[in-house]
Chains A and B, each alone.
Chain A
C-alpha cells in the first residue's frame, strides 16, 4: 500500500488579523512558515493507514527548497520520503499539473490525500483538479479512511452529519479535522531520523495557467470597537450587557 500526501508550506496561519501585513500582494516574508492547517491532519490520516496496512508514505509538495525544513515535520511524523517540485506559481492548475508529474515519477500510488484546503490561498481546488487529471474520484471533507477487501471506505463530514462512501482503486481525498486525526507530535528521535530520509527534488514543468488576472490584494478594515463591560459584579455586568443589546436592537 503506497499513500501519497500533498502538503503545502504556508506563512504562519496563526498570525492574528491585527498583525497581518502584506508585501508584494502576499503575506509578508517576516512571518514564519509551517505546514498547512489541514495538511497535518492528512499526514496523520495517511500514517494511520500506513500503520494498518504496513504500507509506505510519500509526502509531495510544490514550492521552494526552503520549504524542505518544514516538510521534514511530515517525515518526522511518519512519511518515508519527500518529493519537492520546485516552483513559485500560485495558479491552481499549474500546481496540480506539477503535483501530477511528481505522482507519476514514483511507483503506483494507491491513494492520494490532501488537506481540505491550503492555509494561504484557501481554495481547496487543487486536489479536485488533480483527481480529474488522473481520472480518479475526488471526495472532499473526509474524516475516517479504511481499506478492506480491496475497497476504500471513507467517512465524509457533511453539513448535516456524515456519510459512509465506498470506492475501489485509487482516488484523491481531501481531509478535514476530526478528533481521531489530530496530528501526532513527533518524538525527538523521529525528528533526528527524519533528517536522513530521502528528499527528491524535481524541476517544475510548464503548465497552462488559469485565465484569471489578479488585480489587487488588500487587508480588509476591521471597523469594530469593543466596549468592555466591568465584570466585578457579574449580575450587574449581565444587566448592562442585556440593556446595551436591547438599546442597540440586537436582541
Chain B
C-alpha cells in the first residue's frame, strides 16, 4: 500500500513511523519538516521548513491526492494531532489516532477510556490517516540520507511569533532509563528538587502528573500520561502519584514501577512492582544517599 510518513526531522519519531510503515509497504515516501538532512531511505521525499499544520494542510492534501497515498502516518504530537483531523476531512479518509498495535487485514488497536479499555477496529477503506502513539513501536535505525524535493506551502493562515524550548540538562524525559515522577502528593514545587537529586544520581529525568502540572509545580513539558509524554523507562518512581488511568496510560510500557504513596489504597499500587506506603520525604533522601554511596 502506498504509504506517506509526515514528521519533523527527528530520528526517533521518524524511526518509529518507518517501523509502522513496514505493515503496509516496503518503502514509504516522506514529507520531512524542518531544517537538515532527511535521515533514512524513502521512495520519494519532500521537505519544508514550514512546521505549522494549518499552513501545511492544503499542500499535503494536494500531494496525497496526486500520489494516491493509501496510508498516511503521523506521530501523536502537536504536528500529528494538528494534521490528523483536517487531513481526514479533506481526503474523506477514516482517521484512527493513538494507535498502539497493528494486525493483519488492516486491523488496528487503540486505547479508550484513558487506557481502561482497548478497541480493535478494521479499516474498511483507504486512504486512511493514522497517528501512532510513541514508544509502542521500536524505532528503525535510519541509515543514510535521502535527497528531497521542496514542498511548496503558500498558505500562511497562522504565523509563528516566537518559540521557546526549555533547556533540559541530561537525558530527555522520553528516553530516560529511569524516571522519577511527582504528583499532587509532593505538596509544593520546591519539593520537586528532592526528585531531581534522585534522578541525577540515576542518570534519569524528572516527570510529573497532570495534577502537579495544574498546580504549577512542574512545567507542562514534564507531564507524563495519555495527554503528556509517553515514557518507557526501566524504572519509574511514582512519588505521591495517585495513579489515575490517564497517567498509567503514559507509563504502560515501563518495565518496573516503584510507587511511594501515603495512601495504601492509591490506584498506583495496582500497577506497581514495588510499593512503599509512607511519606516520600522519609524515603527519597535516604534512597538518594544510598545510591550515592553504592557508586
Contacts and interface: CB of A to CB of B under 8 A. Distances in A.
Interface string B105-146: 001001111111111111111000000000000000000000
Interface string A190-232: 0000000000000000001011111111111010111111010
Given A92-B95, A160-B221, A238-B287, A217 B166 contact: no
B255 A250 contact: yes
A241 B290 CA distance: 11
A56 interface: no
Contacts of A161: 163-166, 221
11 contacts: A17-B270, A20-B117, A138-B85, A167-B157, A211-B123, A211-B124, A214-B119, A229-B274, A239-B290, A241-B276, A250-B234
Contacts of B86: 128-129, 131-132, 138
B49 interface: no
Contacts of B163: 158, 161-164
Given A27-B113, A138-B82, A159-B221, A234 B273 contact: no
A78 interface: no
Interface in A55-74: none
Given A132-B57, A141-B78, A177-B214, A234 B278 contact: yes
Interface of A: 11, 13-18, 20, 22, 27, 37-38, 92-93, 96, 116-117, 119-133, 137-141, 143, 153, 156-167, 174, 176-179, 182, 208, 210-220, 222, 224-229, 231, 234-235, 237-239, 241-242, 244-245, 248, 250-251
A178 B86 CA distance: 25
A17 B54 contact: no
Contacts of B202: 251
Contacts of A158: 78, 163, 165, 221
A123 B123 contact: no
A158 to B, nearest CB: 5
Contacts of B273: 224-227, 248, 250
Contact of A124 (B81, B158, B216, B272): B81
A220 B117 contact: yes
Contacts of B39: none
Nearest to A248: B256
Given A213-B124, A241-B258, A251-B202, A228 B88 contact: no
B290 A242 contact: yes
B277 interface: yes
A120 B57 CA distance: 27
Nearest to A208: B92
A203 B216 CA distance: 42
Contacts of A179: 213-216
B287 A241 contact: yes
A208 B92 CA distance: 9
Interface in B66-120: 77-78, 81-90, 92, 94-98, 107, 110-120
B184 interface: no
Contacts of B286: 234-235, 238
Given A218-B120, A228-B276, 5 more contacts: A17-B115, A128-B83, A131-B86, A139-B82, A161-B166
A142 to B, nearest CB: 10
Contacts of B115: 17, 220
B18 interface: no
Q: Which of A165, A220, A226 has the most CB of B within 10 A?
A: A226
Contact of B84 (A14, A22, A122, A128): A128
A22 B113 CA distance: 11
Nearest to B81: A140
A163 B245 contact: no
Nearest to A11: B113
B192 interface: no
Contact of A122 (B111, B282, B291): B111
Given A212-B94, A231-B282, A237 B122 contact: no
A33 to B, nearest CB: 13
Contacts of B215: 179
B43 to A, nearest CB: 25
B274 A125 contact: no
A130 B163 CA distance: 27
Contacts of B161: 153, 163-166
A237 B276 contact: yes
A126 B235 CA distance: 36
A216 B103 CA distance: 13
B21 interface: no
A235 B264 CA distance: 20
